[in-house]
Structure 1
Amino acid sequence: MYKSIVFDLGGVMVDFAPRAYLVDRICNEEIEEQVYDLTFGSEEWKQLDAGLVSRFDGNQAMLRNAKAAGREFEVQGVLDDWLHILRPRRRMQELVRRLKNHGYSVYYLSNIPEDVLALLKERGVLDRFDGGVASCEVHVNKPDPRIYQALLDQYGLKASECVFIDDNLANVQAAFTLGFVGIQMKESVGTLIRSLATCNVALR
């Protein structure tokens, strides 16, 4: 019997589609890929998620790399603007409320920088959660097994009693290897609810 539901944040609780954002912003496939690799797909972005560099230092490093690649203008624009894509998903917040009402504990497990975590807290996205672990706090990113274990240890959870939901397949597979039931969120909230039902997670 499952007792706890664990949610990723970006791409699950809030909209986060950086490639689609770059398509809308740039409208040139080659440049989009270059800018993605210099920002969202960069080593510096992973370090920000892991809390290993400050936002200022991470951005400065990305801009240095962008200048060397001749993409400083595009990367500066993205760094100045990208936060607006993090729109809370109201139906997901409603799902969290329903799960809580049915007696489930609800946690988050997210690759997320300190400033973005603070922003989501300010916006009330995390208000209904019983707790969670952010990569910036433990200095480890998914799919490293240590971040999943950190969640289990901090809250005294058993992986076999947890359902883990993430939009990234590699993260779901890592959770599965540790004993979680994993669900990859691909499309609508309705599809996710049906997937939860197959796990006998009651919502009625």
Structure 2
Amino acid sequence: MYKNIIFDFGGVVVDFNPRNFLMDRFMNKRAEEIVYEITFGSQEWQDLDRGTITRAAANRIMLENAAHVNRVFEVQTVIDEWATMLRTKKTTVKVMKELKAAGYRLYYLTNIPADIMDELRQRDWFALFDGGVASCDVHLCKPEPGIYTTLMQTCRLAYDESIFIDDSKINAQAAYNLGITGILYKNPKSMCRALNACGIELG
């Protein structure tokens, strides 16, 4: 029944947990909330994902906003270090290799800035993908229906033959609403259980 497995990147194929990142560095709830709003929770961050602003311009605006609330040091720390979060999730890559060996086609659908997408393309696991859509390239972001339909049309995928794995409930639900089977990623075991429930046997 299923032929295509679609993966989100951040939180599924690579680690991405901004709240933990901030907690590890500042250990001050108030500071963490303010810095989150200026960086990860900002319009600029969304615009980076959408591919409508440059990294340099986004960083400049974030630092200007930080200056208004005396958080320049903290925001500069985020700018300098946040990409260190993006460690490859080896368990996910192992599952991807199993799926590929079993004949499934792998795709990606990710909200991601252009510079980070360029970096991930260099990682050895990227070659496992048969195609995909990055938000920065199409100026659309999950959970907007348009980014899902762009993937399905571009890669010529049938909705009822496709499974989408995302660590965001809203994004997984958006796929489900369009007729794609959505799996909410919580951890490797739950992902494998959900795939098994779909009739996909993993070792």
TM-score by length of 1: 0.97
Distance 2:29 2:22 in 1: 9
Q: CA deviation at 1:72?
A: 1.2
> For the Cα contact (< 8 Å) 1:88–1:125, is it kept in 2?
no
CA distance in 1, matches of 2:192, 2:6: 14
CA-to-partner distance for each residue in 1:24-50, whole Å, 9 max, x for gaps? 000000110110111011110000001
Take 2:4 and 2:40, find their aligned partners in 1: how far apart are those partners? 30
Please list the CA deviations of residues 12-66 of structure 1 after superposition, one character each: whole Å capped at 9, or x if unmatched: 0000111001000000001101101110111100000010001101111111111
Residue 197 (structure 1) aligns with = 196
CA distance in 1, matches of 2:202, 2:123: 25
Q: Distance in 2 between matches of 1:122 and 1:159?
A: 29
Q: Distance in 1 between matches of 2:180 and 2:202?
A: 20
Report the equivalent of 2:76. 76
What is the CA deviation profile of residues 82-141 of structure 1, one whole-angstrom value per residue up to 9, with x for unaligned ones? 111100011111111110111111000000000001111112241211111000000011
Q: Where in structure 2 are the equivalents of 1:159-170 lying within 5 Å? A: 159-170=159-170
Distance across 2 between alignment mates of 1:8 and 1:178: 17
| 1-structure distance, mates of 2:169, 2:189 | 19
Gaps of 5+ in 1: none
Matches of 1:121 and 1:38 in 2, distance apart? 28
Give the conservation status (yes or no) of the 8 Å contact 1:163–1:181.
Answer: yes
Query: What is the TM-score of this pair, normalised by structure 2?
Result: 0.97
Q: Give the secondary-structure state (helix, strand or coil) at the position aligned to 2:109.
A: strand
Written as runs of structure 1 = structure 2, the 5 A alignment for 1:98-177 is: 98-177=98-177
Gaps of 5+ in 2: none
Distance 2:51 2:29 in 1: 31
The percent of aligned pairs where both chains have the same amino acid is: 47
Tell me which residue corresponds to 1:63: 63
C-alpha displacement of 1:69: 2.0
CA distance in 2, matches of 1:10, 1:126: 14
Query: Is the CA contact 1:2–1:162 (under 8 Å) kept in the aligned structure 2?
Result: yes
SS of structure 2 residue aligned to 1:156? coil
Residue deviations 1:127-170, cap 9 Å, x none?
A: 21111100000001100000000100101111111110000011
The equivalent residue for 2:31 is 31
Aligned residue type for 1:185: Y
Task: Determine whether 1:91 maps to 2:94.
Answer: no
Size of the aligned set, in residue pairs, is 203
Tell me which moved more, 125-134 or 15-24. 125-134
Matched AA of 2:185: M
CA distance in 2, matches of 1:64, 1:178: 40
Letter in 1 for 2:127: D
Letter in 2 for 1:18: P
Residue 8 of structure 1 corresponds to 8
> Do the aligned residues in 2 keep the contact of 1:13 with 1:125 (CA within 8 Å)?
no
